[in-house]
Structure 1
């Protein structure tokens, strides 16, 4: 179905169609998913864990990496929406995406996505350590492969999305030359898998019996399997965090309180609270779950404070 045909079937959309220029720019911005940019805050995870976050050179470098990763993610969203435009038009909510609705022409989405996907790694190669450019290039290649075919492969689709989160967490450490501990990688990786599987489970529950599901694998995964995955991932993430917090020699003598061990309580509570939404089938976008639930946001703030005190040896 063409964009014109879509407008013919929906006269109200023709009347409210945005004007060229400003409407196109707004559409491109919406397609870049500004709400998703909060995920890229993960680039500060490794520097924060190492206690090397609060210095002007570190903050400047991390701000640059954040912007470059955001550009790469936006490139993937643009290409993905251009490829899925036809399928999105049959979806009850995705039909409102700018590309599917005709606000952003498909060729424009491809062109802007390609430009961002080329410029971001090139800028990283010139302005950051070479490992950053390698990670960004690998992220783009993996995500584009996901858009083309990997999202149709059972289990692999979960791994690819999870790896995208892990890359965000790793790239900040690489940008500042910070060694990454095994506990950091285990906790971050399985924590990401927990949220990804919970999101898939929620999508499967909400789309059950409905027409127009654009994620074909939702019909192949069972809700029981997805529940098993997010429960397993949550358990491994908690175990990894506990091993980090309780490892021998992990408590500095100068600390007023054992913040490192106490942070386990807040971390486990956060996982349990998030699991409430996963179990209900309402754990959609992770950032939306955190922002709309005050209790979860408060628990996260308490955990972050304890974690910062532990890292600072206070």
Structure 2
């Protein structure tokens, strides 16, 4: 069971916590039904994401064996048989499809779209420069949108914009980390990195960073019923700056979920941000 659990990449399920954003920002985090539906949505999204991880690792076995970290994955290392992985993927896919349809038909459509796009990403789109990072950003937007759908609240354009920009920031930072990791051995890097350079990625990251901070600041300043949200801006700014510090000074950024769990500064910032948002939504 241990190789199977590792293959599901449960640490990466932290990305799916974005499903709960709608509950928090809509001020419905004290509503048991909404929280429970969001929890089920989180499970469904985690299962479909793990299905994608298995499919991606299945397609990239040979390439992963050349990677210093990915070579340790169950499929690449041979700990997990291909047939076993296929059965687990089919089971997870079935459960997520049935569960998502039971929650909300639109959520079912979103998960189907997410799976198709990510399957195309694993086969083809991850080799297309710029499109590759935009697909990653789309996945985060779909997570946030799913949370809004299952509790039937409207998702604002500001939320979509801020989520997309933050996801682009994380995706570009990951590409920069990978570029640095294989700087001395380009033959082992993913194909799309041939079209990137450190200068290009730094410029893109700079643009997205500025756009993210400005968009979030404008959101908090212009949405009248959330004007107290301006007090959360320092958390967002510090979190982004801390992440940039880890990328440029500590060679981090290759795995956002690992940064969240391993860097105490980032973790505390995220927790304080979430608590401050809930406090503002509850009392204002």
TM value normalised by structure 2: 0.94
Residue matched to 1:129: 104
Q: SS of the counterpart of 1:68?
A: helix
Do structure 1's residue 27 and structure 2's residue 3 form an aligned pair? yes
Partners of 2:186 and 2:222 in 1: CA distance: 50
Do 1:43 and 1:169's aligned partners in 2 also have CA atoms closer than 8 Å? yes
Which residue of structure 2 lines up, in the alignment, with residue 82 of structure 1? 58
Contact 1:131 1:174 in 2 (8 A): yes
1:275 and 2:250 correspond: no
Q: Flag the structure with higher helix content.
A: 2
Secondary structure at the aligned position of 2:283 is classed as: coil
Measure the CA separation in 1 of the matches of 2:165 and 2:246. 18
- Secondary structure of 2:30's partner? coil
Would you say the 8 A contact 2:23–2:38 is kept in 1? no
Q: Which structure 1 segments of 5+ residues have no match?
A: 1-24, 252-257
Instruction: State whether residues 81 and 99 of structure 1, in contact with CA within 8 Å, keep that contact through their aligned partners in structure 2.
Output: yes
Unaligned runs of 5+ in 2: none
Q: Deviations over 1:8-67 (max 9, x none)?
A: xxxxxxxxxxxxxxxxx2211111101101111110011211101222111211111111
RMSD: 1.7
Matched, 1:262 2:231: yes
Offset of residue 135 of structure 1: 0.6
Would the aligned equivalents of 2:51 and 2:89 in 1 still touch at CA under 8 Å? Answer: yes
Structure with higher RCO (Cα < 8 A, 6+ apart): 2
Number of equivalent positions: 283
Question: Contact conserved, 2:182 with 2:188, CA < 8 A, in 1?
Answer: yes
Query: CA offset at residue 183 of structure 1?
Result: 1.1
Alpha-carbon distance between aligned partners in 2 of 1:177 and 1:128, rounded to the nearest angstrom: 11
Q: Partner of 2:48 in structure 1?
A: 72
CA shift, 1:212, in A, is 5.5
Q: CA deviation at 1:278?
A: 2.4
Aligned residues of 1:190 and 1:233 also touching (Cα < 8 A): yes
Query: 2:178, 2:189 within 8 Å by CA — same for their partners in 1?
Result: no
Which residue number in structure 1 is paired with residue 165 of structure 2?
A: 190
Aligned to 2:255: 285
Cα shift at 1:214? 4.7
Q: In the alignment, what sits opposite 2:27?
A: 51
User: Secondary structure of the equivalent of 1:312?
Assistant: helix
Residue 248 (structure 1) shift: 5.8
Q: Secondary structure at the match of 2:196?
A: coil
Of 112, 124, 145, 1:149 maps to: 124
Task: Identify which of 96, 110, 115 aligns with 1:140.
Answer: 115
